[in-house]
Amino acid sequence: MAHLMSKWQVLTILLCITAIGVFLRHPNSGMFSHDFQKPVANSCACGKCLSENDTWFIKRFNPSVRPFLAANCHLSKNTFNWWKLLQNERRSFTTYRKTVHMLFQIFPPSPDLLEPRPQQCRTCAVVGNSVNLKGSHYGRHIDVHDIIIRMNYGQTKGYEADVGNRTTHRIMYPESATDLDSTTHLVLFPFKIQDLEWLSRAVTSRFPGKKYGSVKSVITANKHLVMVLNPAFMKYVHETWLDKKGKYPSTGFMAVVLALHICGKVNVFGYGADKDGNWSHYWEKLTKKNFKTGEHPGSYEYEIIQKLAKKRKISFYTRW
């Protein structure tokens, strides 16, 4: 018996030595692996391949689509013709190209993305404005992400416990413009040429051009941290992810798909109607109980987000 136990002990020691050797050669494998490794732009991220032979996801996720405009990014006329119909743009493709050219005389010629750290991938928190965030106590969890994307008027002051207080990227369009600090990226979602013109003038405090509505003519923002969503990306989200439902995607849904393209780990907070089916913001008192989602296929978008969570492509934090 003693001789038999000795053999088992030797075998156990040999197995342990082998396991340690494997771990030293591949420190991110197995049970000791880091949760996050690479940005989602590569085929694999956060220790696993996002596709995982998932035909539904593969059909929709196209890593070759460029999320942001850049000086060397040329929009096709076909895509421009789709984009110009979103808000009845009447000016020509030539005017669009001239406007974009001028844009990159002022702002960085390529988007500034946070580089992933060694052995970790980039993490994103996409923070919506739903009343579902109220009383959620998600604030601390949101604040630990590498990239924290907020939209439009989403507020933090006074709501830190539920929504956090850090913002790295603020999505807006002229009608929802707000002042930013010097460390926050302004991410413009443009729906017409006038939006691009507005950006150039509002950030540089030069606004001699035509104003429209109650849009802020000047905003505080760091012009070195300005990013502009590519209209081709908007078209891709509408046609590939939403099967052309609705007139165009909502800002919130485009933000989720954008995060899938720039981050390896995506956590989504503050989306959807409340438990009674009403759409409202966490900082406002609900006044219109019959308010719907307008031009956007809100219910369908919500179903897609839920499906992404079910397939473990994102983590979806709901309040109800």
Which segments are annotated as binding site? 87, 129, 152, 212, 248, 252, 272, 281, 296
- Between helix 298-310 and helix 251-262 the angle, nearest 10°, is 30
Spans of all domains in the chain: 2-32, 44-317
Does 248 qualify as catalytic in the annotation? yes
What is the distance of C-alpha 4 from the center of its chain?
Answer: 60
Are 215 and 198 within 8 A, CB to CB?
yes
Strands 226-228 and 48-49, sheet pairing? unpaired
In this prediction, residue 47 carries a pLDDT of: 56
* Nearest one of 87, 152, 127 to 295, comparing CA atoms: 87
What is the distance of C-alpha 265 from the center of its chain?
Answer: 11
Q: Which residue has the tokens 């018996």?
A: 1
* Nearest one of 255, 280, 250 to 266, comparing CA atoms: 255
C-alpha 71/C-alpha 104 separation (Å) is 6
In this prediction, residue 284 carries a pLDDT of: 77
Q: What global pTM score does this model have?
A: 0.81
In this prediction, residue 4 carries a pLDDT of: 43
Per-residue CA distances from 298 to 111, 127, 205, 254 (Å): 29, 16, 36, 12
Looking at the chain, the number of H-run helices and the number of E-run strands are 10, 9
3 state DSSP class of 31 = helix
Does 169 qualify as catalytic in the annotation? no
Alpha helices (H) in the chain, listed in sequence order: 2-25, 55-60, 77-84, 93-106, 139-143, 160-163, 193-203, 231-236, 251-262, 298-310
In this prediction, residue 32 carries a pLDDT of: 23
In this prediction, residue 243 carries a pLDDT of: 96
In this prediction, residue 166 carries a pLDDT of: 97
Other C-beta atoms closer than 10 Å to the C-beta of 253 total 26
Residues whose CB is less than 8 angstroms from the CB of residue 142 and which lie 6 or more positions away in sequence, other chains included = 125, 127, 148, 163, 164, 166, 267, 269
Return the half-sphere exposure (C-beta side, CA atoms, 13 A cut-off) of residue 57: 20
Set 138, 248, 271, 302: catalytic member: 248
Per-residue CA distances from 192 to 37, 41, 71, 83, 253 (Å): 37, 28, 18, 8, 19
Are 221 and 181 within 8 A, CB to CB?
no
C-alpha 70/C-alpha 236 separation (Å) is 17
C-alpha 174/C-alpha 213 separation (Å) is 10
Set 145, 169, 185, 296: catalytic member: 296
C-alpha 19/C-alpha 34 separation (Å) is 17
Average pLDDT along the chain, 320 residues, taken 10 residues at a time: 46 42 34 29 52 85 94 94 95 97 94 64 93 92 97 94 97 95 97 95 74 81 96 98 94 96 94 74 71 64 95 88
Which segments are annotated as binding site for substrate? 87, 129, 152, 212, 248, 252, 272, 281, 296
Domain range 44-317, CATH architecture: Alpha-Beta Complex (3.90)
Are 238 and 296 within 8 A, CB to CB?
no
Residues whose CB is less than 8 angstroms from the CB of residue 145 and which lie 6 or more positions away in sequence, other chains included = 123, 124, 125, 267
